[in-house]
């Protein structure tokens, strides 16, 4: 467990803070740490006793024996035990938060008792410690409660868990262990982001399922991480997708992303580089912004988490802030990872005020901005936006994103590349089609529309056999499909013009404009040479 958490815990106890709220679902680890701290005689002039309360058993000693003579399961009786205890002590409450919720029938009484008790605790060397997986602090107690986040296990703790499994099952003839030091390192790194219990469960699942433990079981551990994402209810885990080979054009953006990938290495830390923060992709709809987010995760071989900001907002006071905190904590828990926020401007609607939501959107947005600027874990944010007029200006400030890229409509060369990608994905040889003619008639088409041209042509060819035994896709089908589609660049010409004008002053171009030499070289290429070169791109 990181020393900072233990150090903060000791400081708050010594300073006489009456109530500490530790956010964690790992009650055993918290109890173990608190017990270890209070037993350390070098930290205290006077010792501290420790008592543990649960609604099911009342007050107990750390060994699990009853600590009160009378029934202390009721929260009011539990608080009376704290007040009447005569020596310095730590009183650890498990799941006390439901009794502070305004929906609880006795919440007003419990809150009043805690408020009355707080000055007594500070004066007598007593400390209440609440352990809960969610943050529920009524407004009346905000000034009396300090909130601490219990960090996930360190690499040393994960390794200790692994070593205990090897020691426990190593003598069994039914379990085979094939883990050298390098294999152990891989297993430990795969466990990062899991609680201690989740790591133990993942290892046990691997042993029971295969009767062995080796590097192949890393996948089993990653599946456990997927479960964490799904249980969050806000983040969505996306499986492996294709890499930059499915993204046509955007050469500048691809080069920049490949460069930033090096920033996750230990060599980069030693060189003094921070972890890459993220990138904001703005531009014309349908030009591959979301596809880039998916491709980056595959190219970097890191999990992709889609963050739906709309799911953050809850019906009750404090729900939205808690859900945001939980989502960001989950993302950090499975780091290194890619956090994809699609159509960011829609998720932040109302963040600029005037939304009639009591300022909830502004607070949630503020939490997101603070995290983006101060996060220490390697979580790379890929945010996309179509309407820059709805983006709060605070988001565009340096320090939150490494760069802002503008994704424009594809150039003729990029249109050829995109068409070739979609034809090849559907089992067609691009060399069999009149790409120059198709590129000319698709001027102003975005990437999604170019894909629709190919799909529409396939439908056309499927019902037009021209006397052949089997349908066959031809250039005329593609040209017809293109002629029937009205591109977005015509229906929303004014909005795209405004977006381009803004991007020219505020963004980097995602696509590389060919210089004169490049243009001359492309002009001199034969169609076969150009198609061969384009097939090699990405």
State the SS3 of 383-452. Answer: EEECCHHHCCHHHHCECCECEEEEECCCCHHHHHHHHHHHHHHCCCCHHHCCHHHHHHHCCCCCHHHHHH
Q: Of residues 532 and 142, which shows the higher confidence score?
A: 142
What residues contact 162, with CB distance under 8 A and at least 6 apart? 184, 187, 188, 191, 203
**17-58 pLDDT per residue, tens:** 999 999 988 999 999 999 999 998 888 887 789 999 999 999
Q: Is the pLDDT of residue 92 over 50?
A: yes
> Is residue 438 within 8 Å of 475, Cβ to Cβ?
yes
> What pLDDT score does 397 carry?
75
- Examine the pLDDT at 467 and tell me if it is beyond 60: no
Least Cα distance to 375 among 323, 325, 332 occurs for 332
Provide the pLDDT for residue 516.
Answer: 38
pLDDT digits (tens, 9 = 90+) for 248-292: 778 898 889 888 988 887 788 889 888 899 999 998 888 888 888
Does the pLDDT of residue 385 top 90, yes or no? no
Residue scoring higher pLDDT (526 or 148): 148
How confident is the model over 513-521, as a mean pLDDT? 48
Q: How far apart are the first and last CA of the chain?
A: 43
Strand order through the sheet with 49-54: 58-60, 49-54, 89-94, 126-132, 19-23, 145-149
pLDDT digits (tens, 9 = 90+) for 213-260: 777 777 777 777 777 777 767 788 776 566 677 777 788 988 898 889
Average confidence score pLDDT of the chain: 83
Give the pLDDT band (50/70/90) at residue 484.
very high
Which helix (H) or strand (E) element contains residue 93? strand 89-94
pLDDT of residue 394: 78
| Sign, Cα dihedral of 58, 62, 65, 67 | negative
Q: Is the pLDDT of residue 498 over 80?
A: yes
Q: Domains in the chain and their CATH numbers?
A: 3-149 (3.40.50.300), 155-231 (1.10.8), 252-406 (3.40.50.300), 412-445+447-486+507-536 (1.10.8.60)
Percent above pLDDT 70 for the chain: 88
Q: Which two tokens stand for residue 259?
A: 């460069």
0.95 exceeded by the pTM? Answer: no
Say if residues 284 and 326 touch (Cβ distance below 8 Å). no
pLDDT reading at 7 higher than 80: yes
What pLDDT shows up at residue 241?
60
- Indicate if the pLDDT at residue 200 is higher than 60: yes
Statement: residue 530 has pLDDT above 60: no
Residue 161 CB partners (closer than 8 Å, separation 6+): 153, 191, 196, 199, 200, 203
């Amino acid at each position: 467990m990181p020393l900072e958490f233990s150090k903060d815990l000791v400081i708050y106890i010594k300073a006489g803070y009456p109530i500490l709220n530790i956010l964690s679902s790992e009650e055993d680890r918290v109890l173990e740490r608190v017990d270890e701290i209070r037993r350390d005689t070098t930290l205290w002039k006077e010792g501290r006793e420790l008592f543990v309360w649960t609604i099911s058993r009342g007050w107990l000693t750390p060994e699990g024996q009853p600590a009160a003579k009378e029934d202390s399961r009721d929260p009011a009786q539990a608080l009376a035990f704290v007040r009447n205890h005569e020596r310095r002590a730590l009183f650890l409450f498990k799941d006390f938060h439901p009794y502070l919720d305004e929906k609880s029938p006795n919440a007003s009484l419990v809150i009043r008792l805690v408020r009355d008790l707080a000055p007594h605790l500070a004066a007598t060397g007593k400390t209440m410690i609440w352990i809960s997986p969610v943050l529920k602090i009524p407004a009346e107690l905000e000034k009396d409660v300090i909130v601490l986040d219990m960090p996930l296990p360190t690499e040393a703790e994960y390794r200790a868990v692994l070593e205990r499994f090897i020691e426990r099952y190593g003598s069994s003839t039914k379990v085979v262990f094939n883990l050298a030091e390098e294999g152990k390192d891989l297993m430990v790194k795969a466990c990062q982001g899991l609680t201690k219990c989740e790591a133990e469960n993942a290892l046990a699942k691997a042993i029971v399922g295969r009767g062995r433990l080796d590097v192949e079981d890393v996948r089993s551990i990653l599946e456990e991480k997927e479960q964490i994402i799904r249980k969050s209810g806000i983040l969505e885990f996306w499986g492996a997708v294709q890499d930059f080979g499915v993204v046509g054009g955007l050469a500048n953006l691809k080069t920049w992303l490949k460069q930033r990938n090096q920033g996750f290495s230990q060599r980069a830390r030693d060189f003094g580089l921070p972890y890459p923060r993220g990138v904001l992709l703005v531009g014309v709809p349908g030009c591959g912004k979301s596809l880039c987010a998916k491709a980056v995760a595959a190219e970097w071989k890191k999990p992709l988490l889609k963050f739906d900001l709309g799911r953050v907002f809850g019906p009750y006071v404090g729900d939205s802030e808690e859900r945001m905190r939980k989502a960001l904590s989950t993302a950090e828990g499975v780091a290194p990872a890619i956090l994809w926020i699609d159509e960011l401007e829609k998720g932040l609607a109302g963040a600029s005020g005037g939304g009639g939501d009591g300022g909830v959107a502004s607070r949630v947005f503020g939490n997101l901005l603070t995290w983006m600027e101060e996060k220490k874990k390697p979580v790379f944010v890929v945010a996309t936006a179509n309407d820059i007029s709805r983006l709060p200006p605070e988001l565009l400030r340096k320090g939150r994103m490494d760069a802002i890229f503008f994704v424009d409509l594809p150039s003729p060369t990029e249109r050829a590349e995109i068409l070739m990608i979609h034809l090849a994905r559907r089992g067609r040889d691009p060399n069999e089609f009149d790409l120059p003619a198709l590129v000319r008639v698709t001027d102003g088409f975005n990437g999604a529309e170019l894909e629709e041209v190919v799909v529409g042509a396939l439908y056309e060819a499927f019902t037009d056999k021209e006397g052949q035994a089997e349908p066959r896709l031809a250039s005329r089908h593609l040209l017809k499909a293109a002629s029937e589609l009205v591109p977005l660049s015509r229906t929303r010409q004014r909005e795209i013009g405004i977006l381009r004008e803004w991007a020219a002053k505020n963004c980097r171009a995602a696509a590389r404009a060919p210089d004169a030499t490049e243009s001359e070289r492309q002009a001199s290429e034969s169609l076969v040479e150009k198609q061969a070169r384009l097939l090699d791109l990405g």
